[in-house]
Amino acid sequence: MKKSWKDSIYLQREELARILREPMAHLAERCTSAWGDRERLNEILVSGFAAIPHRTFLYCVGNDGIQICDNVGQAGIATTHFGRDRSHRPYMKEVVPTWGFLLSDAYISLNERRPSLTALQVVRQGEHWLGYLGADFDLRNLEVTSELYDEPGYWRQVKGDPAIRGTVFMQTRAESPMDRNLEQAMSILEELFTQRGVFQCILHFSSSQATIWTVDDPFRYRLLDHEAMNDPDICLAFPSRPYPSNAAIPEVDIKRVLNTMQALRLTDPTIYLRTASINIFNGTVSLTFSCDGSHYMSYVEFLMKDTTFWF
């Protein structure tokens, strides 16, 4: 089963918590005897700073969220944070588990405005909670241990602007320059996909343009305007390339996908296709209609539906 982005985040957090719990607990134990003594806590955090992987800052706060020592970072001690009220920060509002260790959800830091997270370890004296040892982490400094997640292949529908949805039956499709020559434009796109190395395309029917990406230069897009979409000579601007063997959409189905998009654009004057996209490697298409509703699905599901399903 493919991992979602949430699965990927869970695995990353699980690994980070695993490597932090033991050194955080050990350092928190050392803080117990110095609790309430700013200078001694600073010394303990400086000496234990290297033992906490990937940390940016270490500090201690009381149960009320008030910082009782200075920030300890790579550059040394930063005295400006002593007495700081952290009680309103996102990590202080989360519930610390009974075992005394919390790895917070990510948040945006106040000073650098960067995605960050905080680990809190309870500092105990017997059964009494004195406060917390805090460790701040800049997400830029964390090693990503999980694999890049795969986009899920199931059908997803996203509602758009309510103002557009509310007036959809008051509008009628205005014929664009691309609409007048849509069959030819689809034939040109089929050639670009199957013979000229294009692997992704976003079709903007209403504004008569297409944004394309090629296997030869995948990090840059090309914009084809109406003139290009109506001129078969545009194919000469792209070198001939065999259809990728690892594409999820078979070469023979490219024409079927494009023909179906053409039908969805022209069949109904009120509910019609405004934009659409194809990516041959992840095998998905997207559709955004005049009601501003968007659909993301596999090409197989897309080809299984005729125009009566949509209208």
278-303 pLDDT, tens digit per residue, is: 999 999 999 988 876 788 889 998 89
> Do 186 and 304 reside in the same domain of the chain?
yes
Residues whose CB falls within 8 Å of the CB of residue 299, separated by 6 or more in sequence, listed in order: 248, 249, 253, 257, 278, 283, 284, 285
For residue 212, the model assigns a pLDDT of 95
**Structure tokens belonging to residue 160:** 């758009």
> Structural domain tally of the chain?
2
Diameter over CA atoms, the chain: 81
pLDDT at 264 over 70: yes
Residue 200 · residue 279 · CB < 8 Å? yes
- Per the structure, the complete domain to which residue 298 belongs is given by 156-310
- On average, the pLDDT of the chain sits at 86
CA quadruple 227, 230, 231, 235: dihedral, nearest 10: 100
- Three-point CA angle 186, 302, 228, nearest 5°: 15
In 3-state terms, the chain is what percent helix, strand and coil (to 5)?
35, 25, 35
Q: Does 291 or 44 have the greater pLDDT score?
A: 44
> Do 180 and 203 reside in the same domain of the chain?
yes
Rounded Cα distance between 151 and 131, Å, is 42
> Do 184 and 255 reside in the same domain of the chain?
yes
**Structure tokens belonging to residue 125:** 């004296």
pLDDT at 219 over 80: yes
For residue 153, the model assigns a pLDDT of 64
- Entry pTM: 0.68
CA atoms within 13 A on the CB side of 285: 22
Chain segment 50-94, per-residue pLDDT in tens: 998 888 899 999 999 999 999 998 888 888 889 999 999 988 888
Residue 68 belongs to some domain of the structure: yes
Residue 204 belongs to some domain of the structure: yes
N- to C-terminal Cα distance for the chain? 33
SS3 for 267?
Answer: coil
Structural domain ending residue among the three candidates 141, 170, 200: 141
Amino acid making up residue 245: S
> Do 122 and 265 reside in the same domain of the chain?
no
Residue 90 belongs to some domain of the structure: yes
pLDDT at 159 over 70: no
Structural domain ending residue among the three candidates 116, 141, 166: 141
The string of DSSP codes covering 71-132 is EEETTEEEGGGTT-B-TTSHHHHSPPPTTSEEEPPPEE-TTT--EEEEEEEEEEETTEEEEE
Q: Does 309 or 65 have the greater pLDDT score?
A: 65
> Do 131 and 160 reside in the same domain of the chain?
no
> Do 110 and 176 reside in the same domain of the chain?
no
- The candidate with the shortest Cα–Cα distance to 138, out of 78, 82, 73, 77, is 73
Q: Does 304 or 151 have the greater pLDDT score?
A: 304
Rounded Cα distance between 136 and 152, Å, is 32
Rounded Cα distance between 157 and 310, Å, is 13
SS3 for 11?
Answer: helix
Rounded Cα distance between 4 and 58, Å, is 32
Residue 215 · residue 241 · CB < 8 Å? yes
> Do 48 and 97 reside in the same domain of the chain?
yes
> Do 13 and 112 reside in the same domain of the chain?
yes
